[in-house]
Amino acid sequence: MTEQTIPHPQSNTPANSGRREVPTSKRTWQIAGIVMTASLVWLATTAYLPSQMAGTAALTVFCIGLWATAAVPEYLPALLFFLIAVVFEIAPAQTAFSGFHSSTFWLLFSGLVLGASISHTGLGQRAAVLLSQMLGTRYSSAIFGIVVFSLALAFVMPSSMGRIILLVPIVIALADHMGYASGSNGRIGMLMAAAFGTCLPAFAILPSNGPNMILAGMAENLYDYQLAYWDYLLLHFPVLGVVKSAILIVLILWMFPDHDPAYETRSRHDVTPMTAEERRLTMVLGLCLALWFTDRIHQISPGWIGLAAAIYCLWPHSKLTSKKCLNEDIKYGPLFFVAGIMGLGAVISTTGLGEVVVQNLSEYADFSVDRPFWNLAVLTAISTLVAIVTSLPGVPAIMTPIAGDLISITGLPLATVLMTQVLAFSNVFLPYQAPPLVTAMQLGQLSTGVMTKLCLALFIISALILTPLDLLWWKILGVF
């Protein structure tokens, strides 16, 4: 009898199997529908808005439609955005291309380099082995442990983008160690736990996400009002931090079920000592973390810290990356994607489209000083819409300057009006709104579909359950 060779179940799994191939006919109809909708938006708004605002509205619908449906690769709408915005003079080139100037863009670039270095040196696999020993032997305990670890990291590391860049390569190696192949539910669930666990509940921790800090800075500059760390934490963390984390764990286990991990059998004596490259990379990552933790002291943006680390890793004599790292190991699509998202947000803000949306909505909001709960609900809804139209950082950028007017209309205190923004930018409708989630999607090779699926589920639960629950908690605390 001849011996049969049984193929390994992972051998036929493509590296990017997390992305589902959409039929060509469906993509064609999707693109045609998005183009038609954007054209109708332009025609409908031209009569009421300046040409730049009308063009921005149409361009926003076009780009968001393509990103949301994944009808084309994510970088293509970004490139089209750059072309259309500049050629049709919707915005100056420096505004459209402002994403490339942002430290966030270079933090993503450095994250791609550091991720390649972690894989090249084998440090990710070593960290995964150590982390797996703390996560138990069940899939549910692994998801729980990753979410808790990711949230705990938010208390000590202020940059959500930095946390994503640090966590994703380690979780990928951890998934490999646990036997979850590329595209499997287990791998997707673990990456979702790391990405969402360190991003969304961290909105309840003052210095842990960008929109939080934008809100704090603008409130101090415009109203001489300082947000206190403990007050902010007490107001938001019980519901938006703890309860949301618990719901996240349940949703991941329900939406992405998988078998318990199949650990490699390896004794302590089989673990080899760290190589010189692993030790150097550990020192580089440790120095990055130390500088990220203390950014308030030295005032150096996390993006430039990450870029310096990336340059050292790319230095040939460091031996921390392959010689063809920039040509083969780094994918540039995510960079154009993120730059396009940030550029679109800048164009919306510069043209004033966001403010117009808020002002028009306020006219129909039916605010009344006798209905504080209604006022809070409507303010949250308006801020949520702003987050969808622009991005999460666009909420404090647009809503904070008009908070003074909202105080007189609603009769609510300044602090209460400002805090409704947190309810909005902590509730993500689609992944494109949050650059850290976009970064996690690119680094982890997650499809837009699975990210959108979890975003929508969390959005609905947050809108229907967590937001009223949080407002009830505010009532108990005497906020209104």
Name the nearest CA neighbour of 380 among 420, 427, 429, 433: 420
Percent of the chain with pLDDT over 70: 88
Give the mean model confidence (pLDDT) for residues 232-254.
94
Q: Provide the residue ranges of all domains of the chain, joining segments of one domain with +.
A: 24-95, 101-332, 335-436+444-477
pLDDT at 133: 73
Cβ–Cβ < 8 Å for 357, 60: no
Handedness of CA 277, 278, 279, 285 (dihedral sign): positive
Over residues 24-46, the pLDDT tens digits come to 777 788 888 899 998 998 998 88
Polymer length in residues for the chain: 480
Q: Is the pLDDT of residue 5 over 50?
A: no
With cut-offs at 50, 70 and 90, classify the pLDDT of residue 8.
very low
Identify the weakest region by mean pLDDT among 34-43, 186-195, 248-257, 402-411. Answer: 402-411
Predicted pLDDT of residue 328: 81
Q: Which two structure tokens, joined as six digits, stand for 449? A: 């579909």
Q: Is residue 16 very low, low, confident or very high in pLDDT (cuts 50, 70, 90)?
A: very low
CA–CA gap between residue 108 and residue 119 (Å, rounded): 16
Tell me the backbone φ, ψ of residue 371, rounded to 5 degrees. -130, 75
Please write the tens of the pLDDT for every residue from 303-340. Answer: 788 889 999 999 998 889 888 888 887 878 778 877 88
Closest CA to 212 of 464, 361, 424, 26: 424
As a whole number of angstroms, the distance between CA 472 and CA 235 comes to 11
**Residue 72 CB neighbours (<10 A):** 16
In the block, residue with structure tokens 């089989």: 270
And the tokens for 142? 């692994």
The token duo for 272 is: 């080899």
Q: How confident is the model at residue 192 (pLDDT cuts 50, 70, 90)?
A: very high
pLDDT for 448-465, tens place per residue? Answer: 889 999 999 999 999 999
- Mean pLDDT, rounded, of the chain: 81
Looking at residue 4, its pLDDT comes to: 34
3-state secondary structure the chain: CCCCCCCCCCCCCCCCCCCCCCCHHHHHHHHHHHHHHHHHHHHHHHCCCCHHHHHHHHHHHHHHHHHHHCCCCCHHHHHHHHHHHHHCCCCCHHHHCHHHHCHHHHHHHHHHHHHHHHHHHCHHHHHHHHHHCCCCCCHHHHHHHHHHHHHHHHHHCCCHHHHHHHHHHHHHHHHHHHCCCCCCHHHHHHHHHHHHHHHCHHHHCHHHCHHHHHHHHHHHHHHCCCCCHHHHHHHHHHHHHHHHHHHHHHHHHHHCCCCCCCCCCCCHHHCCCCCHHHHHHHHHHHHHHHHHHCHHHHCCCHHHHHHHHHHHHHCHHHCCCCCCHHHHHCCCHHHHHHHHHHHHHHHHHHHCHHHHHHHHHHHCCCCCCCCHHHHHHHHHHHHHHHHHHCCCCHHHHHHCCCHHHHHHHHCCCHHHHHHHHHHHHCCCCCHHHCHHHHHHHHHCCCCHHHHHHHHHHHHHHHHHHHHHHHHHHHHHHCCC
Rounded to whole angstroms, how far apart are CA atoms 15 and 30? 26
Has residue 222 got a pLDDT over 80?
A: no
Q: What percent of the chain has pLDDT over 90?
A: 22
**Distance between CA 205 and CA 104 in Å, rounded?**
20
**334 or 434, greater pLDDT:** 434
